[in-house]
Amino acid sequence: MTNMNQKSSPLLSPNYTIAICSEPLDLAALNGRIQKGVGEHGASVIFTGSVRASDEEKGLVAMTLEHYPGMTESTLQSIIEQAITRWGLVNVVVNHRVGRLTAGEPIVFVGASALHRLAAFEGAQYIMDYLKNKATFWKKEHYIVYGKETSHWVAEKKSDEQSLSRWSE
């Protein structure tokens, strides 16, 4: 496992923001927060995860996201702090939607900036992998099949759990 292990200079004290929101994510504004000062940091990576519009063909009409208020925020905080320590990330923004979302809408935004691209890439991926496995969110999908609305809670994916093994030091 590559560990850049860069320590940020005092001028680049790390900061992060976490938000769980029921309003649509403003991706341009979130990206703007990551890009602020990126000239000094050098590298930034942003990831967005959205409700797959291609699932509309299977009849998906919407998705509902629920979370555990309090525990979700503290879990994300500890994930982000670990990523900052390990990769020397300078700036991290994590926003996650809750409530009812329709196809194509962003669910999650993860942005990370660092001195070099590898730290930014790996830091963002680490945060996303841990978010998927540890943060207390649950997805419910709503379908219309043969004119009838049905819904079901999404099952966990084994591949998500396996994705954590790459980060063991």
Partner 1 sequence: MMNIVRVVFFASFKERLNCGSLSVTLEDNATIAGLCGELASKDGVWKEIFHKPSQAVKVAHNQQIASLETVLADGDEVAFFPPVTGG
Residues that bind partner 1 (CB under 8 A): 49, 65-68, 70-71, 74, 96, 107-108, 128, 131-140, 153-157
Nearer Cβ to partner 1 (79/119): 79
Nearer Cβ to partner 1 (82/133): 133
How many other CB atoms are there within 10 angstroms of residue 7's CB atom?
9
How would you class 4 by CB atoms within 10 Å of its CB: exposed for 0-12, middle for 13-18, buried for 19 or more?
middle
Nearer Cβ to partner 1 (5/74): 74
Q: Could you give the residue ranges of the DSSP H alpha helices within the chain?
A: 27-35, 38-41, 71-87, 117-134, 158-162
- For the CB of residue 106, give the shortest distance to partner 1 in the complex, in Å: 11
- For the CB of residue 47, give the shortest distance to partner 1 in the complex, in Å: 9
* β partners of residue 64: 100, 140
- For the CB of residue 39, give the shortest distance to partner 1 in the complex, in Å: 30
Query: How is 148-159 classified by DSSP, letter by letter?
Result: EEEEEEPPP-HH
- For the CB of residue 44, give the shortest distance to partner 1 in the complex, in Å: 20
| HSE value, Cβ hemisphere, 13 Å, CA-based, for 35 | 6
Nearer Cβ to partner 1 (5/71): 71
